[in-house]
C-alpha cells in the first residue's frame, strides 16, 4: 500500500488555540490575584545556544499577559550560586514557574539543580517528584516536549490505544516521558536508544514512531511501515536550516501522517508550557488561599 504524501501534523494552529485559552485564564488570574502569573528562566551564560529558544518562550508569555523574564547568571557561576538563585525564586510569591537553562555548564551537577527546584514551580517537569508522578500515572508537571509529542497525536485524532509505538531516544526529558505517556494512552511501547541492535527492525514494526535522538536523517522512509505515523521531536541545524531527526522527504512518501520540522511539535511545546505555568499559578494560589482559611475542626471533640 502506498500513501500519496502524508498528512502533515502541524502544531501552529493547535498552539494558537491553546494560547487564546491561556490568555483568558491569565486575565482572570490577574484580576483575582492582583498580579499576573510569573515565570523566571535562569540562564547561565548569555551566549548559550538555547538562549534564542528561551527568548521565544518569554515573548510567547508576554503576548498572553504572563510576567516572564530572565535571571541572568555569569557563565562561570558556581553550583551554589545557581541553586541559591533557584531557591530564592522558590520563595518569591510573585514567581509561579521556574525554568533553568539546559544543558548546564560541566562544573554544575544536574542533580543538584533539579533537586533545588520547588516541584510546584517545576513547569517543565524535571524534578524527580514530577518524573515519579508521571511514572506512577499521577498528575504532575510533564516535560513540555514529551507532552507535545503525544498531545499532537491526540489533537490530530490519531488512535494510540493498542497500537505499536517506537520511541527513539531515552532521555529523561523527552524519550522516557514520551514513552510513559504513550503507555498511559494504552500503546505498546518499545524504547530504542544508542545501543539498540536493530533500530530499523523495530521501526518497521511500529504504527507510531516518535523520534527524539538529536540525529538528522536517523529515520528514513525505507525504515517505516507504510502508513506509520511519525512524530519528529528533533531540532538540528544543518547547513543553516532547521531539520528534525527524520528524513522528511522520504518519510512523507511512506507515512500516513508526519510532523514537519519546524512547525510540528515545536510550537505546541511552547504553548503547552504556558498551560503548565497557568496551572502552577492557579494551584499555588489555591494552596495559599487554603492555608489562610481557619482550620476545620474535626468532629471528634
Sites of contact with ligand ADP (CB under 6 A): 168-171, 173-175, 192-194, 196, 199, 212-215, 218
Q: Which is nearer to ligand ADP, 160 or 218 (CB)?
A: 218
For the bound state, the minimum distance from the C-beta of residue 248 to ligand ADP, rounded and expressed in Å, comes to 17
Residue nearest to ligand ADP (CB): 171
Write out the H or E segment, with its range, that includes residue 275. Answer: helix 265-292
Q: Which is nearer to ligand ADP, 178 or 258 (CB)?
A: 178
Q: Which is nearer to ligand ADP, 65 or 169 (CB)?
A: 169
The grid cell for 94 is 510573585
For the bound state, the minimum distance from the C-beta of residue 245 to ligand ADP, rounded and expressed in Å, comes to 8
Q: Which is nearer to ligand ADP, 210 or 278 (CB)?
A: 210
For the bound state, the minimum distance from the C-beta of residue 171 to ligand ADP, rounded and expressed in Å, comes to 3
Q: How many CB atoms lie within 10 A of CB 198?
A: 9
Q: Which is nearer to ligand ADP, 120 or 230 (CB)?
A: 230
For the bound state, the minimum distance from the C-beta of residue 194 to ligand ADP, rounded and expressed in Å, comes to 4
For the bound state, the minimum distance from the C-beta of residue 99 to ligand ADP, rounded and expressed in Å, comes to 15
- Cα atoms in the Cβ-side hemisphere of radius 13 Å centred on 202: 20
For the bound state, the minimum distance from the C-beta of residue 172 to ligand ADP, rounded and expressed in Å, comes to 8
Q: Which is nearer to ligand ADP, 124 or 151 (CB)?
A: 124
For the bound state, the minimum distance from the C-beta of residue 174 to ligand ADP, rounded and expressed in Å, comes to 4
Q: How many CB atoms lie within 10 A of CB 5?
A: 11
Q: Which is nearer to ligand ADP, 142 or 168 (CB)?
A: 168
Amino acid at each position: 500500500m502506498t500513501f500519496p504524501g502524508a498528512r502533515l501534523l502541524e502544531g501552529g494552529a493547535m498552539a494558537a488555540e491553546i494560547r487564546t485559552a491561556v490568555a483568558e485564564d491569565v486575565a482572570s488570574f490577574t484580576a483575582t490575584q492582583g498580579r499576573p502569573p510569573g515565570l523566571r528562566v535562569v540562564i547561565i551564560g548569555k551566549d548559550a545556544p538555547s538562549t534564542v529558544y528561551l527568548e521565544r518562550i518569554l515573548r510567547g508569555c508576554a503576548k498572553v499577559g504572563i510576567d516572564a523574564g530572565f535571571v541572568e547568571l555569569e557563565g562561570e557561576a558556581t553550583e551554589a550560586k545557581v541553586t541559591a538563585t533557584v531557591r530564592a525564586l522558590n520563595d518569591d510569591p510573585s514567581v509561579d514557574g521556574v525554568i533553568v537553562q539546559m544543558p548546564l555548564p560541566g562544573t554544575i551537577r544536574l542533580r543538584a539543580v533539579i533537586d533545588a527546584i520547588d516541584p510546584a514551580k517545576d513547569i517543565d517537569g524535571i524534578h524527580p517528584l514530577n518524573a515519579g508522578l508521571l511514572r506512577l500515572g499521577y498528575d504532575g508537571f510533564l516535560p513540555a516536549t514529551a507532552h507535545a509529542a503525544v498531545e499532537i497525536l491526540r489533537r490530530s485524532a490519531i488512535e494510540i490505544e493498542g497500537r505499536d509505538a517506537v520511541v527513539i531516544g531515552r532521555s529523561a526529558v523527552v524519550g522516557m516521558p514520551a514513552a510513559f505517556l504513550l503507555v498511559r494512552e494504552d500503546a505498546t511501547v518499545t524504547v530504542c536508544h544508542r545501543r539498540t541492535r536493530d533500530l530499523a527492525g523495530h521501526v518497521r514494526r511500529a504504527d507510531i514512531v516518535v523520534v527524539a535522538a538529536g540525529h538528522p536523517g536517523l529515520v528514513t522512509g525505507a525504515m517505516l511501515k507504510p502508513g506509520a505515523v511519525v512524530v519528529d521531536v528533533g531540532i538540528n541545524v544543518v547547513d543553516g536550516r532547521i531539520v528534525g531527526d527524520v528524513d522528511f522527504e522520504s518519510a512523507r512518501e511512506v507515512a500516513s501522517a508526519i510532523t514537519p520540522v519546524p512547525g510540528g511539535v515545536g510550537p505546541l511545546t511552547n504553548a503547552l508550557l504556558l498551560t503548565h505555568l497557568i496551572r502552577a499559578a492557579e494551584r499555588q494560589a489555591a494552596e495559599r488561599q487554603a492555608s489562610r482559611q481557619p482550620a476545620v475542626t474535626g468532629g471528634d471533640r
